[in-house]
Structure 1
Amino acid sequence: MDERQLRVLRELGELGSVTAVAEALRVTPSAISQQLRLLQRSIPVPLTERAGRRLVLTAAGQALADAAIGVETALARARHTIDEYVDEPDGTVSVAAFHSGAAAFYPLLLRRLDAPGSPRLALHDEDVAQAGFPPLTRTYDLVVAHRLDHAPPWPRTAVATPLLREPLDIALPVGHPLATRSVLTAQDVADQPWITVHDGFPLLATVEAVSAAAGRRLDIVHRVNEISVVAEVVAAGGGVALMPRWTSRPHPGVTLRPLGGIEAHRHVDVLHRPERTARRAVRTVLSELVEAAETIRCRGPA
């Protein structure tokens, strides 16, 4: 049995005829009869009987019709609860982001949403390979993810809202001879020791592009995913690295220089499942992330 069938049974008990029920529900009498037949198949005792030319409820049918009132009331309360949840402006919204994205976006997001009545944030960090971001949308309302320009697009199972197309620069120790140049090429940095991410993480593909453009294998000496740690290793003379221009925090011992001749950008996007933005609170946080991205882009290097 389902809600529609119980509604038809209840109306039949109150209105007294299939025709009257059809008129009240604005359907055909045959549609009403079909719903009654479908309901009867799931009930082991007769629900209706003939009284002359009229179809009336049996005692069992009347008992079920009475129970249908409680069912409709409960469903109405459930719908009202859902409506309130969906339209709740200050509901909790879970957000996950990769490390440098979290460092850049989370402080702005917290400041923007500190007024009474704003959504409550539940913030998380997730350091995963590119393929690992879309599955996170099962767990979190919004996922701040990144991928390289030439990487495969995000799967259609997730909605992607663009935030940034961020340049990737070469990070050098302050005082390094290459820091005197305004733009660096693959040949300039090919003979340097390198710090890069672990296999499968987005920035590695650009490092491989540098190697290809230089025509030689790079000397990768350190594997570090966390950008703030990379900055410390660069500053200490451990090598050069690719570093995001806007979302990495400035380090007094590190100089950034653009990389010429190679497409060195990454996309920073928000991923979510379509149904998540049915909630007003989630839409609010998504809008604030887009505004925060504009702030990050306009202020230049973090």
Structure 2
Amino acid sequence: MIDLRRLHVLRAVAHYGTVTAAARALHFTPSAASQQIRQLARDLDVDLLEPQGRGVRLTPAAESLLAHADAIQARWEQAELDLRAGHGEPAGPLRAGGLAVAVSALLAPMAARLRERHRRLSVSIQETGVPESFDLLFEGEIDLAVVEATPHNPPMSDTRYDQQPLLDDPFDLVVPADHPLADRDRVNLGDAAHEDWIAPFADSPCRTHVMAACGAAGFTPGVVHHARDWNVTAHLVAHGLGVALIPRLAQLTPNLPITRVRCAGDPHRKLLTCTRRGAGERPAIEAALRELRDLARTAAA
């Protein structure tokens, strides 16, 4: 009989990439995590890890076992749903996470609607980065996340997660109110090729979108200033220190002397909802996804 606790340790090693990182996430010592995997290997009479440089990698047997482990996790989610089938009203705790813009524009109004419509449902929200959201879902610390699609996300085929498109969030060129481009209805980004630029830091998912949009317009932006928060970016623009691409969902400080101008070609980022595979049919999560889709339609309009 496979010990599911030991199987969970192996899943964590596959998810985090190293035994040490998996142990940290599971609140184990590295030696305790290694012992769990060694015991699982003895129980199954197969090798699960093999040396690779200074680290380890999963063996083919471990990869095969993980495919079953992910299916088992999804079945557990389905089992919980079946047990609650007689209680169709959304109830209990619902934990959601997402990037800052998603919290402000989508998750906060979602929570307010759910609180009004489902008195037995308790919603908690936290701001999370994209990689962190997947980690928290994997660990069972959150039930639902709104994430930005990036090249570094798990693939859509990853059987641990159910990722669904939610909203295309266009980028606007934001310029000082007295800028020559401010009076245009739509601007070609190439017209801002020689401007000073304000951009997200290199570790921000939006950095990729900004650089790709400018690259598609035929130039590399001359980035002079960096910011993590869209309102910080907007204040830098307001002081005439450069121009920036800012997502339309970002709610900026009112009355700043700036203008948002739509961009030709409509560069945008994609926002996704993500749950653990099999969890999306839980009444609480189903209600949350329904509200999010409705809010996304309103935002797109």
TM exceeding 0.5: yes
Q: 1:200 to 1:81 in 2, by over 3 A?
A: same
Q: Aligned residue for 1:126? A: 128
Matched, 1:283 2:286: yes
Task: Give the gaps of 5 or more residues in structure 2.
Answer: 2-78
Instruction: Give the structure with higher Rg (CA).
Output: 1
Structure 2: how far apart are the matches of 1:80 and 1:221?
A: 52
What whole-Å deviation, never above 9, does each CA across 1:72-102 have from its counterpart, x for those lacking one? xxxxxx9999538975622110000101111
Q: Aligned residue for 2:143? A: 141
Quick one: percent identity of the two aligned structures?
28
8 Å CA contact retained: 1:113, 1:119: yes
Residue 112 of structure 1: how far off its partner (Å)? 0.9
SS at match of 1:288: helix
Compute the TM-score of the two structures, normalised by the length of structure 2.
Answer: 0.63
SS at match of 1:284: helix
Q: 1:213 to 1:281 in 2, by over 3 A?
A: closer
What whole-Å deviation, never above 9, does each CA across 1:125-167 have from its counterpart, x for those lacking one? 0134xx5543332231001111269x98545231112221121
Residues 56-135 of structure 1 correspond to what in structure 2 (within 5 A)? 82-83=83-84, 87=88, 89-115=90-116, 117-128=119-130, 131-135=131-135
SS at match of 2:205: coil
Q: 1:196 to 1:80 in 2, by over 3 A?
A: closer
Residues 1-302 of structure 1 correspond to what in structure 2 (within 5 A)? 82-83=83-84, 87=88, 89-115=90-116, 117-128=119-130, 131-138=131-138, 139-147=141-149, 154=156, 156=158, 157-213=160-216, 215-249=218-252, 251-253=254-256, 254-261=258-265, 264-298=267-301
Structure 2: how far apart are the matches of 1:135 and 1:235?
A: 37
Aligned length: 219
Structure 2: how far apart are the matches of 1:275 and 1:100?
A: 27
Compute the TM-score of the two structures, normalised by the length of structure 1.
Answer: 0.63
Q: 1:153 to 1:252 in 2, by over 3 A?
A: farther
8 Å CA contact retained: 1:193, 1:238: yes
Residue 180 of structure 1: how far off its partner (Å)? 1.7
Q: 1:197 to 1:207 in 2, by over 3 A?
A: same
SS at match of 1:177: coil
Structure 1: how far apart are the matches of 2:170 and 2:82?
A: 46
8 Å CA contact retained: 1:119, 1:285: no
Name the amino acid aligned to 2:165.
Answer: P
Q: 1:197 to 1:191 in 2, by over 3 A?
A: same
Residue 267 of structure 1: how far off its partner (Å)? 0.8
SS at match of 2:278: helix
Runs of 4+ off more than 6 Å: 78-81
Q: 1:159 to 1:268 in 2, by over 3 A?
A: same
Structure 2: how far apart are the matches of 1:118 and 1:297?
A: 30
Structure 1: how far apart are the matches of 2:285 and 2:253?
A: 31
8 Å CA contact retained: 1:134, 1:155: no
Structure 2: how far apart are the matches of 1:148 and 1:190?
A: 25
Residue 217 of structure 1: how far off its partner (Å)? 3.5
Residue 201 of structure 1: how far off its partner (Å)? 2.4
Residue 123 of structure 1: how far off its partner (Å)? 0.4
8 Å CA contact retained: 2:98, 2:133: no
8 Å CA contact retained: 2:97, 2:133: no
Name the amino acid aligned to 2:143.
Answer: D
